[in-house]
Structure 1
């Protein structure tokens, strides 16, 4: 009978793990829900922070969804999809990183009962994309223009968007103060590009949070300086600025080459040549008329004293990011040699309205203001601890991105879960007009959107069922007001637009699109194939593994050592 048996076909490498079917799909959804549970409690003004200890004493305290999932280093292949959409949300609009994870996880969670009942994944995907299109169109319909009729009104509306973003951050108790700083910083930039890289955030220990300030220019911390630095002037009006990428230090050639001399005169000639090289470089810099000299590399003690004697300010070892911002702000170009400086033309030297060195706390900062080439701003953040300053920086970055997006796309929607409840009602109303399975699936999509107001209530300690019932009643009322959201002050509902709780429409558009696509992507996966690790030839693999030299290619002796099988 054995001659009639079909031969065994080995298709994949030994040790390859395959998982497929309904159980595998539900397992992927459960893995995504585990990520959702990690960040769920961080949503909203009453959200809690996560303390992440990375080892070696590094501790991060944050409630930013993208930062949390990035630091956790999630390795599950399906759950990494949520990490990717959170990072893309952070890169695209800067805020809503937690919301997009919650929405995607809840959408997949609503699909579990349909999958268990045998509904095909493609049916779910088609219905979800149809519901996503309805949500996109509804957001664009109800979004309101916030451009304003004059600069004052425009600034006030942008401040409200920034304040909504900061409302859930660590600096929420000073959100109006920081909203003004962030809005002014973004409005300082060139209106055409709005390049956020021209907004620097510097952290200074000590002082109160309200001691933070905005510098309309470029500022960076005083660099390491040699003797003679204090003799240099610390302020100039309309100075020329030279940017270098070379060392201005005395170099002893005997350190780089072997030099043989026959007399003391020969040795003295070598020493004189070394001094002549450095003095020639310094003289070339002085002859350009520059009053501020910055270099990416070191400026030694000889050069520091040389510049001080000629009333020139210098700073060496300037950080690359700061050097790039200064170059874009004051103009000129970074020089790698002094051989062709000549008279220091406009293509070589930059210029600013004023340069000065300021004392901020215990630190000293070099400040360039009145920069003609490109508009720039620097936010000086004050605080008591490293964790507070780092979280403040992340919070301000989110607010900066929100204001920038609001300027580029000047439409906003009510926050506090109001827009999600309106979308839920709108999709339900559209679903009842559709026949077949799509009606139930689209209704499930609509219920998934309620996760935002429900989580806001849960994190604030409210009865989410009671508040959601009030929200449903308010949105279904005859007046048709779609602006009712969660009032976290009274555990009730409120017109969030009238309360100035706004979110840029682009944040919700991007979050819903990313969440819908992530859910459809997970639903479209019916099998996961995990290949074994590739081992180096001749290196024993793990016991029972499939690597070369281990598993099938090796065996265990009594002593427990891997012995390569002779072929």
Structure 2
């Protein structure tokens, strides 16, 4: 009796494409390496910039890893993991976004030969996680506790280190002092939203201003605005979330009256309610009125007659900063305005900056906010300077990696043979940071790495790449400092991304459910200029 042949069981709908096993793992690694090659040359003080063309009116020039990764619409599902870790690094610590992507790519490249030799991915994952734990332990040992007395110097040096690879590196001393001044004004919560960055074209970077208080660009104004005072000492600041404007009736509004004379009483009642609001504001004693909503021409003229200043449609973040600086509280009604909700400062003034006028609140006794007005020659230049300052608020850049390599290599000798090889591979991958910094500066990276290995083998743990003199230097003596949290976050994020990608051995894609990608297509010539973005990982500007 012949055995019954059972028909195959179909679990996935027709048109579904599956890819699994070692080829899928290798494909994912190759895709990630293609992404890494796109941002690799942006690392370090001599890193190159990337021009990402999105449309004729929207072109971004940047060497910030997170910015470049965000602007590239990466189609390959595994490679999107690198975008996620760059965003995570940017949101957590602000700096090291390029480093974390490059390290993740190097870890994957180190794992590739072992996969091809038949080593199970889970063995590699366990070894890499163990190596990551050792690296974290070593970073904590290398870190130095800074005494409060030296905190100011430490913050400035960290800011300058972070700025070495930025567009504003030529003004690093100027901006590092400015950024540290801003951060030290904040309270213990260190809410970076309380540091406002305004961009004003014209002038040079050296014309940028730091304001220990709040400032915002003059808002839309009505007739009567120029009659209002533009300089007030010890102002009383009232912040509102109220619309002070008479509006026409809405569409389809209907009022039925039996006597036409009653219409005038309705108009009079509306005007009385409006003027009662204005009189209540005036009676509160406030002479600087800010509102998140519109302040119309009638209210503007009223405040001008009373020698009061007003500004409507002030952005929400600016209102919050003014409240934090002056001690005011946002009001949603004008009834019962008590003195405790009115803020104050030494001086309110309207000042010309470039081609625009700014409203400044300075000399605030409760100052827990600051504003930086960035100047520069072009819009793209100022945009990149703003991104650089965001990184500076969080701090940092290079080092530590060579001593991590030595430490991991020394500790791998006590492990099993396969695990020893894997931890050594992880350790060697950490060398990618000094190697890439040297390559981007046009140095002989092989010679630089040999010198670094020799110094670290002799116990001189602070040596790193010397960009200025084309060699190596004691980074501690050279004040190339960074917070340990930057390197900790980089190593952990890169390791977790590597382990995630190595744990995926099958991709299921249902072509019938695919939807067309939204957004403009990037020009083919621009695609070619962006580097390797073809077969393995397609990239489009958003």
Same-fold call, TM cutoff 0.5: yes
Contact 1:251 1:274 (C-alpha < 8 Å) held by counterparts = no
SS at match of 2:74: coil
Following superposition, which runs of at least 4 residues in structure 1 exceed 6 angstroms of deviation? 261-264
Q: Does 1:167 align with 2:164?
A: yes
Conserved? CA contact 2:284–2:339, under 8 Å:
no
For residues 101 and 452 of structure 2, the distance between their equivalents in structure 1, rounded to whole angstroms, comes to 23
Q: 1:466 aligns to what SS in structure 2?
A: helix
CA distance in structure 2 between the partners assigned to 1:358 and 1:28 by the alignment = 55
CA displacement at 1:369 relative to structure 2:
2.2
Q: Deviations over 1:206-234 (max 9, x none)?
A: 11110111100111000011111111111
The correspondence of residues 211-226 of structure 1 with structure 2, limited to 5 A, is: 211-226=207-222
Instruction: Report the RMSD for the aligned CA atoms in angstroms.
Output: 2.0
Report what 1:305 is aligned to.
301
Question: Runs of 5+ in structure 1 lacking a partner?
Answer: 404-414, 537-567
Select the structure with the greater relative contact order (CA < 8 A; seq sep ≥ 6).
2
The CA distance in 1 between the partners of 2:237 and 2:7, in whole Å, is: 80
TM-score (norm 1): 0.87
Deviations 1:323-380 (A, max 9, x none): 1222233334322333x2x3x2145323333221111111111111233455111111
Residue of structure 1 in register with 2:410 after alignment: 429
* Counterpart for residue 39 of structure 1: 39
Secondary structure of 2:253's match? coil
2:383 maps to 390
Asked whether 1:499 is paired with 2:478, we answer yes
Question: What do the CA deviations read for 1:26-55 (whole angstroms, capped 9, x no partner)?
Answer: 100011101100100000010011111112
Aligned partners of 2:209 and 2:373 also within 8 Å: yes
- Going from structure 1 to structure 2, the CA distance change for 1:95 and 1:6 (only over 3 Å counts) comes to same
Q: SS where residue 303 of structure 2 aligns?
A: helix
Q: Deviations over 1:511-567 (max 9, x none)?
A: 00111111111111111122344499xxxxxxxxxxxxxxxxxxxxxxxxxxxxxxx
Any idea what SS the aligned residue of 2:73 has? Answer: coil
Partner of 1:180: 177
Structure 1 distance, partners of 2:221, 2:398, is 51
Contact 2:228 2:309 survives alignment (8 Å): yes
* Cross-structure match for 1:128: 128
Residue 547 of structure 1 aligns with which residue?
Answer: none
Is the contact between residue 229 and residue 308 of structure 1 (CA under 8 Å) also seen in structure 2? yes
Unaligned runs of 5+ in 2: 516-542
- Which has more radius of gyration? 1
**Where does residue 517 of structure 1 map in the other structure?**
496
In 2, the alpha carbon distance for the partners of 1:29 and 1:57 equals 35
SS at match of 2:289: strand
Name the TM-score, length of structure 2 as normaliser. Answer: 0.91
Q: Is the 8 A contact 1:416 1:487 kept in 2?
A: no
By how many angstroms is 1:56 displaced? 4.7
CA distances 1:113-137 after superposition (whole Å, capped 9, x unpaired) = 1000000111111111111111111
Which residue is 1:155 aligned to? 152
Shift of residue 416 of structure 1?
4.3
CA distance in 1, matches of 2:349, 2:251: 38
Alignment of 1:15-26 (within 5 A): 15-26=15-26
Aligned residue for 1:28? 28
Q: Equivalences for 1:324-343 in 2 at 5 Å?
A: 324-338=320-334, 340=335, 342=336
Paired residues, number: 515
**CA shift in 2, pair 1:2/1:241, >3 Å:** farther
Partners of 1:248 and 1:256 lie apart in 2 by 23
